[in-house]
Amino acid sequence: MSFLQNHPALLETAYDATTRVLRPWRRWLRRGGAAEKLFIVAEQVGKGAVFDCRMCGECVLHHTGMTCPMTCPKKMRNGPCGGVRPDGGCEVLPDRPCVWTEAWQRAAHMPKYGGEIRLIQPPLDRRQQDRSAWINELLGLPDSVPQRWAE
């Protein structure tokens, strides 16, 4: 499914459209309810196929060039580690490109959210693992730490 990831402007449009469709239903959504179970299955299947989603529960795809940072072997959510190879390869898995070199290249083709790759992501709340990221997006995370911009 890297075709879609390599056309991130399409995914950006799909993200916006999905948000617009789901937002009016917010008031009927509850954490832990039947709707969340449906969302979880949909995310496992859909985002799993397209992004190799690891169900972290706090999706940052539109900030990271539509590239899932949780597929990084070190789970780096704020840019690459210091081990990126000169050819842009991963330090841990040299036969793979660094997730962050891909994220950076893809973000350059995202007219709306591409610049948000410079946002500093707050620490991941591991309690959200295997929860629905869409429910968290729509209802807001409890005790969330605001993002800030890199200088």
Binding interface with ligand SF4 (CB under 6 A): 47, 51, 53-56, 59-61, 68, 70, 133
Q: Cα(20)–Cα(6) distance, rounded to whole angstroms?
A: 23
Nearer to ligand SF4 (CB atom), residue 49 or residue 87? 49
Closer residue to ligand SF4 in complex, CB, 105/121: 121
Closer CB to ligand SF4, 91 or 125, in the complex: 125
Closest CA to 22 of 145, 124, 136: 136
Query: Residue 134: enclosing H or E segment and its boundaries?
Result: helix 133-139
Please state, in angstroms and rounded to a whole number, the distance separating the CA atoms of residues 42 and 22: 14
Q: 108 or 130: whose CB is closer to ligand SF4?
A: 130
| Smallest distance from ligand SF4 to CB 127, Å | 14
Q: Which of 55, 80, 45, 47 is nearest to 136 (CA)?
A: 55
- How near is the Cβ of 78 to ligand SF4 at its closest, in Å? 13
Reading the block at residue 45, the tokens are 């299947």
Shortest distance (Å) from residue 76 CB to ligand SF4: 12
CB of 20 to ligand SF4, least distance (A): 19
Cα–Cα dist 77/81, whole Å: 10
Question: CB under 8 Å to 44, separation ≥6 — which residues?
Answer: 53, 55
